[in-house]
Structure 1
């Protein structure tokens, strides 16, 4: 009997410790999953806001370009400025974030303001945007720090571009100012909790806009901070958790740098606030498990022994099933993926093309295919070696993936140095546009290739489109059409796009 009691106590202790450890592991795993989900949500939101910001800046840059062209063609005479004033009055409503447009002469004097009246004896040579364009011959738009507008009194972000006189000398600056208030109104509609924050800053570490708004945060330079150096430097996007240098709040951060402009969008939520749901669930789980352990102790050692055996059996089955699922997932991924480039392999390409052909036939939508061949790739391998050739393939593959992001698009390694892109719902004109962008971007990679007449790695692209009822073997016809375009591109000198 004593032996049975001792055994029961021993088994009870083991069960207690096992259940407690499993519960702790489950709660920790749930916490990690919650953090991962929050990071994903923040990254998606940062990407969305980054796209919005890029759109606003692009609209501003296009408006600047039109004004600069008129100034350089017509000059800055009174009649021309009046005509330009009327043109701006007609167009400024197209950009809802617009606070104002001002044109400055070469000495910093105001030549025109969309607000109408010019401030008396106003001069803006002290502004950062004016100094930048005066000292630099670059014709690219310049995104300046947050400043208070002298025409409206509002805090604004400036986007500016220089113009030149007839002698090609510095003629002045055109500035589009975007109201920070309009950004704050958008950020304020996004639920990031009571402790959350949304920020827009330059890649150099200067704050442009921050929600929640505090005037003293505008223009803050945090480029020297340890968090900026550790997290933001050198990365296009990412997530991190650290204590804010502005208000000392521990937050979960996600950021996305613009591909076109030197700005960074950051979304953050308070860590304690974000984990409040998990914390409540963890406490509830701990309470339930504690009650269960107490019940097990009351029932007795015989029932404990049965539960222990059942628990072990169930745990083994669950573990075996999870192992099997993981193995199956790995096998499926390996069966559909090219190991060198990470793209879909030929098998996956064939299955996807067959499926998309059938879908295009049912829905009556066009289906396009691009076949892409790296020019003189054998010569590249012979000159630089197969390791460099593999690196070249990987770089080109990564570039292709960046321009085939729609859910139905598929980038695959067709064979050797030949790659393919399936573009559902895309007509021939759209396919040619994608192909031309891909060709230009790969040439812009500037991968040295002494055996090429272009001096760098280039690609030839064949494009083809299928439209109409599905017919048996249409996949092969589509491939043959794209391959014919590829053959013509090579025969015509390579580094070009050809289509039927």
Structure 2
């Protein structure tokens, strides 16, 4: 009953620990899964936004290419500029992000502005895009940093191309301006939460646009931020988690570097918001866990209380059962012992030999059996009497039993003055060593036997050994050992013979 009590406690502990571990595993794995889903969602958004940004830049570049070709073939006279203005105004509705198109001569003077009147004496020779094209003969489009428009103070991004004169020398710049607010219109349609942010920047870390729009971020450089310093060095796409240097909010970032343009698209989602659904699920799981543990504890307490009562009621009965069991065990031990010699009796011998034979057959190990008979024992009884004969049997039995040391070895009284020794995992050579030791000890003891030709008590030993299939009929091992014993007696006694 005490075992049942301990078992119930153990089961309750195991159940509680298993339930808690399972819940913890579920909470942790669901958190990892939620973070993985957020990262995948962020990467998908970066792909879509990168494609969107590349499309706008490509449309702007194609428009610039057409304008540059016309300027280089038709010139930049007022009539040609007027025709270009009409062309731009027809195409402008096709690009809602387009804020305007401007043309500048080689001194930076305004030749055309599609969206507003040209200010008198306006000059843009100090703009980064103008300086780039003036100093760089490349005909590739240039994406300039965000600037504030001088006409309407709007923040814009410029995409520009250089055009040359008939001699191939720098003649001016054509620039498309994209309003940041218009550019962010699609960004604003994407749900990123209260703490989320979307950004588009150059590969050198200069910020182009950010949603939500914050004017203090315009023109800011993030080349020292973790994304640029750690991840974009050897990766073009990936995810990361760190605290923003702008507002101190921990976010999950997904970033993607454009394959065609020097742009990096970043989508950041607030980690706390991203895990809000998981937190509700985790709290629910913990509440359910506590409820189950509480219910299990109540049931376990009731069960333990019942077991304790049964322990108290059945205490006396257990004591009586234990006493009865001890008595039965003592009787069983007595039933396996020979009353005269104290050795195992014939019943124990037969059961042990059968058991060891099956074990040796399974394991493929040898099993040795010795049959031992006291020489001229009948003459000893006739000469000294049966009481002396009994004492002789006891002395020889103790000597033989002292020659075997392993717990698995068995010395038994087989019948009359004959003893049997079962030696598991022992071959013939090992059995011979033990038998020789027995003969030597008897010789050293030199117990007197006047009726024996040797003048002292001696024994004859027959040894048989078998292994494998030979042990299937274990009774034959006794017959073989008996035959070896007969051979030892026929050869003159006080010796051993091996079958």
Pairwise same-fold verdict (TM > 0.5)? yes
In the alignment, is residue 77 of structure 1 matched against residue 95 of structure 2?
Answer: no
Q: For each residue in 1:360-390, what CA deviation from the matched residue of structure 2 results, as whole angstroms up to 9, or x when unmatched? A: xxxxxxxxxxxxxxxxxxxxxxxxxxxxxxx
Q: Matched residues in 2 for 1:76 and 1:227: separation?
A: 45
Q: Matched residues in 2 for 1:303 and 1:258: separation?
A: 67
- Which residue in 2 is equivalent to 1:203? 203
Q: Matched residues in 1 for 2:242 and 2:231: separation?
A: 10
C-alpha spacing 1:133/1:95, structure 2 compared with 1 (3 Å):
same
Superposition map of 1:17-416 within 5 A:
17-300=17-300
- Which residue in 1 is equivalent to 2:313? none
Shift of 1:202: 1.1
Task: Say how many residue pairs are matched.
Answer: 304
Q: Matched residues in 2 for 1:147 and 1:235: separation?
A: 29
Contact 1:163 1:170 in 2 (8 A): yes
Q: For each residue in 1:97-120, what CA deviation from the matched residue of structure 2 results, as whole angstroms up to 9, or x when unmatched? A: 011111111111111111252112
Q: Matched residues in 1 for 2:115 and 2:186: separation?
A: 24
Runs of 4+ in 1 over 3 A off after TM superposition: 301-304
User: SS at the partner of 1:300?
Assistant: helix
Shift of 1:52: 1.0
The alignment's C-alpha RMSD in Å is: 1.7
Q: Matched residues in 1 for 2:79 and 2:117: separation?
A: 16
Q: Matched residues in 2 for 1:206 and 1:234: separation?
A: 19
Q: Matched residues in 1 for 2:122 and 2:158: separation?
A: 17
Q: Matched residues in 2 for 1:127 and 1:25: separation?
A: 58
Shift of 1:67: 0.3
User: SS at the partner of 1:117?
Assistant: coil
Shift of 1:73: 0.6
Question: What are the ranges of 5 or more consecutive residues in structure 2 without an aligned counterpart?
Answer: 305-499
Q: Matched residues in 1 for 2:84 and 2:48: separation?
A: 34
Q: Matched residues in 1 for 2:279 and 2:196: separation?
A: 18
Contact 1:11 1:301 in 2 (8 A): no
Contact 1:110 1:118 in 2 (8 A): yes
Q: Matched residues in 1 for 2:180 and 2:158: separation?
A: 10
Shift of 1:303: 8.2
Q: For each residue in 1:184-217, what CA deviation from the matched residue of structure 2 results, as whole angstroms up to 9, or x when unmatched? A: 2221221111111111111111111111111011
Q: Matched residues in 2 for 1:227 and 1:248: separation?
A: 15
Q: Matched residues in 2 for 1:18 and 1:107: separation?
A: 79
TM-score by length of 2: 0.59
Shift of 1:245: 1.1
Q: For each residue in 1:305-337, what CA deviation from the matched residue of structure 2 results, as whole angstroms up to 9, or x when unmatched? A: xxxxxxxxxxxxxxxxxxxxxxxxxxxxxxxxx
Q: For each residue in 1:242-270, what CA deviation from the matched residue of structure 2 results, as whole angstroms up to 9, or x when unmatched? A: 11111111011111222221111111110
Q: Matched residues in 2 for 1:121 and 1:177: separation?
A: 20
Deviates more, 1:205-214 or 1:14-23: 14-23
Superposition map of 1:461-480 within 5 A:
none
User: SS at the partner of 1:157?
Assistant: strand
Contact 2:227 2:240 in 1 (8 A): no
User: SS at the partner of 2:160?
Assistant: strand
Contact 1:110 1:123 in 2 (8 A): yes
Shift of 1:302: 10
Contact 1:160 1:175 in 2 (8 A): yes
User: SS at the partner of 1:158?
Assistant: strand
User: SS at the partner of 1:229?
Assistant: helix
